[in-house]
Structure 1
Amino acid sequence: MKKLVKYISLCAVLGSGCSEEFFEGKGKKGEIDQESFYKSEKGLNEATRAAYQPLARVFRMDNANMIFESIASDDAEAGGQNLTDQPAIQDIDKFTFNPANEFFKTLWAYNYKGIYLSNLVIANAQQYINDVGPNQDSPVYNYLGEAYFLRGLYYFRLNKFFGGVPLLDESALNNINDYYTVKRSTIAETFRFIKSDLHKAQNLMLAKANIDGYDLGRATKEAAWGFLSKVYLYESSYAKNYAGDERFLGCEQHYDSVCFFRRKGNSIAHKLLRRTKRRDLHN
């Protein structure tokens, strides 16, 4: 009995010495709350890296071109073994699919996940710049450019496979209902949104020559130029070949822009190649 009293007394003393924050879990070491996470260059860098993550889903994302273009267009066939060999892809091949097809659902979901992660970077990078003040040497400008590039990339994929889609920018983070209530935009409106993002990206991002080895593989200014050329090419092709089709109303021909951004990207690529060759010769 005496031992029990001692234990109860000890617990009472220890408990009285604990702060309210201890019991509420505040101030835990090794944990960073969301607000603090985005207030540093390191946090924004990690958030930008995370925005690339949906692209790593090779079977659901990278193979989409093969499934929805090559197989759906008869350039390739699905189900080489039997009817149980990738039945969802066979449905796409035969045009017997419905909205419940897993490949449509995951393609939609992973691209919008990428858009959401990109919006987080855009909103918080802009807030960081406003709080700290303009400093063109800060890597945060490059992170912001990467996020615009990625958002444009995700919307391009959606526009290519689904046509015009609901357009959600960083302001949608303040109202989660926007993700369910924003109306679908037209193909032309989606193209305009994509081009706006890519133009912002190319103004903010670093050139490949200024990227160190640790970050090789991330988007650069040249990537934005190359992708702008592709976007203008798609829109111009729709405008030329589907004139009068209401699905493509508002699309414009910009073949001059296709050539401009292609030449711009190739010019930089050739300079980098020559620089690399000269370096290899000296080494």
Structure 2
Amino acid sequence: MKKIVLLCIICVSFLMVCCNNEDFLDQPLRGRQQLDDYFSTPQNAEAFINGIYKKVNGESWWQANFQRQINDMATDDNWSGNTAQPRPDISGISAYNVFPGSQYFNSFWENHYIGITRANISIDRIPAIEIEESIKRRMLGEAHFLRAFFYFDLVRNFGGVPIVTTYTELLEPAINDKTRSSVADVYKLIEEDLQIAINNLPLRSEYPAKDLGRATKGAAQSLLAKVYLTEEKWALAQTNANDVIVSGEYQLEPDFANIYSVDNHHGVESIFEIDYINNPVFQEIGAQLPITNGSRGDQGWGWGSPTSDLENAFLSEGDNIRLRSTIIKHGEPVYGDPDVTSFNALPSENKSGRTNRKYYVPVAKRPVPYARGQIALPYIHLRLADVLLIHAEAAYFNNDPTSAKLSLKKVRDRVQLPTDMSLTGIALRDAIWKERRLELALEHQRFYDLRRQKIDGIPRMALIMGPNGSFVKYNTQISTDPYETTNLNESQEKGIFFDVSKHLLWPIPPKEIQLSRGNIVQNPGY
């Protein structure tokens, strides 16, 4: 099957002509004539569109997905984990002892703006191409969807950021005069882009098999629902999520364990997924997370170890089905891998003696060599269970508890958990929030959920982290976990430095402030 990832390989050399900088828009484009040549054929235009997708997860391990992994380390779901390799630029972020100049902030920012630049070029040039109208509409829809995706990532991490919507803004002196737009203006652009995408993109069922992985109408509706949820536009979030649910385009995987199976690319639940393949001829076209997230006792780097606090959340719910497909524990068998009856999480080098099962590849299915950038494990950004829980949360806050409970029930039914249909008020809200934690654990969702969810106006992150946070108190006063309490190379006090006036946003990379000649202003506290 011809997949997006293969098409991306083809266009790399072309993209380097237009977007080879690895700094925030600090290299002007080489000239209009080269763009005219590049967009002279429909095939070249499609290759350029394919190149935008390369920036969704980054073109190497450090550019985007590792920052998402670090974000998860900054929650109650994960420790930084690797206690054998001191890296204060990683563990410092996860512990809220933040180094503003971290390369991971820098690369995340740069990666996303390069993606935005590629989208801007496509939006500008594609309308003039002589091509079938339906294909033109689809390509423009993809470009608008991806630009919205990048800006949504940026605004959730950094707050208001510079808005760049044309590639001519990259030229001197305009680039040095860019300032931060308001959060409201960034969200306005995201909403507009996603509405255009919804109006132009095909349904998943309308794509041929070779185009699976491209953005769809359902992906744009799902992302817009998440955007509206983040903005607390409850009615709009509920409506957009419901449109996806009733479309019939997606289903819950009958077996939870199959969602992240290496054999289940573009499964029935997957809405927006970045596909990976194994091909030793090319580098960086396979998944990164099985290695960066994997146990140091199992050819991994050991970053991002699940906490006993997360395990306890599963146990308190009697949720063994999701627990066994989410957390691997030292000395225990690996669910779904008959070759491993006693897993080596290497507790002497791993804070919690636990590893993420979702990004684990069974031994018999591993390529040789088993190496970063060569693993055919998909990465799912949006899936139906997420949308069902977006719908449930939005419906709850939109004074529609019946719809909220029906969506909650669909998610819990799959893992054979009962749903109390008499729940109301705060108890229903908390049940939905807990379900998001259990269902989406270790999928890089928790960080953003805790920042946006509020209790009496206070972000939940501030109630979990900080000197009086529940996670800090659990680890320093309650926990008796045999791994976490004995391996103190990562402090039990992780999160104690959280400051709600500062840490609901990450710092703007100092290099970008310098490039803007000080026009881009740093976030408070940094």
Q: Please state whether the residue corresponding to 2:160 is helix, strand or coil.
A: coil
Displacement of 1:64 after TM fit? 2.5
Q: 1:169 aligns with which of 165, 178, 185?
A: 165
Q: Where does residue 67 of structure 2 map in the other structure? A: 64
Q: Where does residue 227 of structure 2 map in the other structure? A: 231
2:181 paired with 1:185: yes
Q: Where does residue 77 of structure 1 map in the other structure? A: 79
Question: 1:148-167 residue pairs with structure 2 within 5 A?
Answer: 148-167=144-163
2:87 paired with 1:91: no
| Alpha-carbon distance in 1 for matches of 2:193, 2:37 | 27
Q: Is the 8 A contact 2:49 2:119 kept in 1?
A: yes
State the one-letter code of the partner of 1:71: M
Q: Where does residue 42 of structure 1 map in the other structure? A: 43
Once the two structures are superposed, residues 27-73 of structure 1 have per-residue CA deviations (whole angstroms, 9 ceiling, x without a partner) of xxxxx9431221221111000000111124344312333312x2223
2:254 paired with 1:257: no
- Choose 34-43 or 217-226, whichever is displaced more: 34-43
**Greater relative contact order structure (CA < 8 Å, 6+ sep):** 2
Q: Is the 8 A contact 1:111 1:154 kept in 2?
A: yes
Q: Which ranges in structure 2 are unaligned for 5 or more consecutive residues?
A: 1-32, 252-266, 269-526
- Choose 151-160 or 86-95, whichever is displaced more: 86-95
Q: 1:177 to 1:194 in 2, by over 3 A?
A: farther
Q: Where does residue 147 of structure 1 map in the other structure? A: 143
Q: Is the 8 A contact 2:224 2:237 kept in 1?
A: yes
Q: Where does residue 136 of structure 1 map in the other structure? A: 133
Once the two structures are superposed, residues 1-26 of structure 1 have per-residue CA deviations (whole angstroms, 9 ceiling, x without a partner) of xxxxxxxxxxxxxxxxxxxxxxxxxx
Displacement of 1:74 after TM fit? 4.0
Please report the TM-score for the alignment, with normalisation by the length of structure 1.
0.71
CA RMSD for the aligned pairs? 2.5
* Same amino acid, percent of matched pairs: 25
Give the structure with the larger helix fraction: 1
| Alpha-carbon distance in 2 for matches of 1:52, 1:117 | 10
Displacement of 1:127 after TM fit? 3.0
Q: Where does residue 212 of structure 1 map in the other structure? A: 208
Q: Is the 8 A contact 2:204 2:249 kept in 1?
A: no
| Alpha-carbon distance in 2 for matches of 1:118, 1:156 | 14
| Alpha-carbon distance in 1 for matches of 2:98, 2:249 | 48
Q: 1:33 to 1:195 in 2, by over 3 A?
A: same
State the one-letter code of the partner of 1:259: Q
Q: Is the 8 A contact 1:164 1:190 kept in 2?
A: yes
| Alpha-carbon distance in 1 for matches of 2:249, 2:118 | 34
Q: Is the 8 A contact 2:122 2:143 kept in 1?
A: yes
- Choose 156-165 or 48-57, whichever is displaced more: 48-57
